[in-house]
Amino acid sequence: MAGLTPLEDALALILEDARPVEDSENLPLVDALGRTLAEDISAAVPVPNDDNSAMDGYALRAAESGHDLKVTQRIPAGSAGSEVLPGTAARIFTGAPVPPGANAVVMQENCSLDGDTLRLTQAVRPGENIRRRGQDLEQGSVVLQAGRRLQPEDLGVLASVGAATVAVRRRLVVAILSTGDELVEPGAASSLAPGQIFNSNRYTLQGLLSALGFEVRDFGLVPDDPDTTREILQAAAAASDCVISTGGVSVGEEDHVKSQVEALGHLKLWKLKVKPGKPLAYGRIGDTGFFGLPGNPAAVYVTFSMIVRPWLLRCQGAAAAAALPIPAQAEFEHRRAGSRLEFLRAQLRADGDGLHVRLHDNQSSGVLSSVSWANALVVVPPGLTVARGDTVEVILLDQLNR
């Protein structure tokens, strides 16, 4: 385990033992947002269910559109008409089924009505303004695949084929704990004694995990003491699918997380070739996955997004959801080539000639406000420098938070 592991290798290593949870449950659609489908969903009915009108207008035989036609019926949405006989037309409204005999709908704006006599002001083509049965979804087709994390629009799609409940995987349970004698919970003290800091990682992690739809069990503050660390790690592992700790995973004598994970289970990975985020550990305690994230808050965000998130999604049974890298023009210089893959907190903005990206002034891994400020991370591979105007790769934070 000597040396720093490149991100790609680390991902391959951790993902190879990420096993999807097996249990599933049936949920009503209203409760299924963010949950992962346990099976493919097929369309029980075609959408739409019949050929229907895309307009308010008149249904007729297109070949007769040069003649005066007699309007003999009225078909509002929700009712079915009767056959349109030669020489006739049907008043029809958006969404109403196109009656037999008719093969086009003319917009009401394109005709004039004199009593019940309809005259078209322009010709109409066969099929015009008709939404075909099954044009959205064909009956029996797979609408959404197993592994899909349900988005708001997916719930609508499921409803459109009449699905009232869906089978989803049970939610992954993730335990979090915050190590460090210096930590104080917000609310526990109105001011800080020398050396103390408020615990921010807990809230960042809680938010990231909740936004991704996982169930969070919070094991609170863990002092820098080996026995307590071990006891809490053990309890957290017994209660969850994955334990995530922050801090205490570096090389100081006050860092006890690694040794205590090794006492309870084993470590498979330590130290990433990533900046920020070098001191990251991955291992297992029994059947439970373990991630020891760095203490520094900006490093927590980056390592969670790049390493923990893909592992959790895989365990949740969710299809791969890698963030799309976006090319943008650098409004900054990055003169010193690093030995690690770097993620720089940045703001991406669009202007006249495309996407531009600028960096936060302080890229220290301790500066959490830089993450709030940022809407993106610039990815700089090891060994590379960036000159102003270069094209760089950017990942949107929005894509990492969902």
Residues of this chain that interact with ligand AMP (CB under 6 A) are 178, 180, 182-183, 197, 199-202, 246-248, 250, 294-297, 366
The CB-of-298 to Mg ion minimum distance in angstroms stands at 16
Nearest residue to ligand AMP, by Cβ distance, number only: 295
Residue 246: Cβ within 10 Å count: 30
- Are 198 and 186 spatial neighbours (Cβ–Cβ below 8 Å)? yes
The window from 48-56, 243-251, 261-269, 310-318 that contacts Mg ion (CB under 5 A) reads 243-251
> In angstroms, rounded to a whole number, what is the distance separating the alpha carbons of residues 395 and 380?
11
- Contacts with Mg ion, 195-234, as mask; x by CB under 5 A: ----------------------------------------
What minimum distance in Å lies between the beta carbon of 247 and ligand AMP? 3
> Is 7 or 222 the residue whose CB approaches Mg ion more closely?
222
The label of the residue with tokens 């097996």 reads: 22
Q: Under the criterion CB under 5 A, does residue 97 sit at the interface with Mg ion?
A: no
* 267-306 positions binding Mg ion, by CB under 5 A: 295
Closer CB to ligand AMP, 277 or 295, in the complex: 295
| Eight-state DSSP code of residue 38 | S
Which of the 8 DSSP states describes residue 304? I
Least separation, in Å, of the C-beta of 199 and Mg ion? 11
- Could you give the CA distance from residue 118 to residue 90 in angstroms, rounded to a whole number? 10
C-beta of 97 vs 247, nearer to Mg ion: 247
Q: How far is the CB of 44 from ligand AMP (least distance, A)?
A: 49
Q: Are 329 and 359 contacting, i.e. CB atoms less than 8 angstroms apart?
A: no
- For residue 340 the two structure tokens come to 């690690």
Residue from the set 99, 247, 279, 283 that interacts with Mg ion by CB under 5 A: 247
Residues in region 142-181 near Mg ion by CB under 5 A: 180
Question: Is the separation of the CB atoms in 377 and 277 below 8 Å?
Answer: no
Find the shortest distance in angstroms from Cβ 13 to ligand AMP: 22
Name which of ligand AMP, Mg ion, none residue 46 binds, using a CB cut-off of 5 to 8 Å depending on partner kind: none
Out of 46, 97, 99, 248, the residue judged to bind Mg ion by CB under 5 A: 248
What is the C-alpha separation between 204 and 216, in angstroms, rounded? 12
Q: What are phi and psi of 163, to 5 degrees?
A: -70, 125
Q: Closest CB to ligand AMP among 58 and 343?
A: 343
In the list Mg ion, ligand AMP, none, the entry touching 200 (Cβ below 5 to 8 angstroms by class) is ligand AMP
CA 203/CA 237 separation, integer angstroms: 20
Shortest Cβ 228–ligand AMP spacing (Å): 15
Let me know how many helices (H) and strands (E) the chain has, helices first: 9, 26
Q: Which is nearer to ligand AMP, 46 or 180 (CB)?
A: 180
Q: What is the nearest approach in angstroms of Mg ion to the Cβ of residue 178?
A: 9
Which of ligand AMP, Mg ion, none does residue 246 bind to, with CB < 5 to 8 Å depending on kind? ligand AMP
Q: Which is nearer to ligand AMP, 92 or 371 (CB)?
A: 371
Nearest-CA neighbor of 174 among 272, 266, 243? 243
Nearer to Mg ion, 215 or 225 (CB): 225
Nearer to ligand AMP, 104 or 243 (CB): 243
Nearer to ligand AMP, 163 or 249 (CB): 249
| Residue 240 contacts which entry, Mg ion, ligand AMP, none (Cβ below 5-8 A, type-dependent) | none
* Separation between Cα atoms, residue 159 and residue 161, nearest integer Å: 5
In DSSP notation, 311-334 reads HHHHHTTPPP-PPPPEEEEESS-B
Rank residues 160 and 196 by Cβ distance to ligand AMP and give the closer one.
Answer: 196
| Least distance from ligand AMP to the Cβ atom of residue 320, Å | 30
How far is Cα of residue 252 from the mean position of the Cα atoms in its chain?
37
Select from Mg ion, ligand AMP, none the partner in contact with residue 197, using the beta carbon and a kind-dependent cut-off of 5 to 8 Å: ligand AMP
CA-CA-CA-CA dihedral for 235, 241, 246, 248, to nearest 10:
50
Residues 9 and 18: their CA atoms lie apart, in Å, by 15
DSSP codes joined into one string, 196-242: -EE--HHHHHHHHHHHTTPEEEEEEEE-S-HHHHHHHHHHHHHT-SE
Interface with Mg ion (CB under 5 A): 180, 247-248, 295
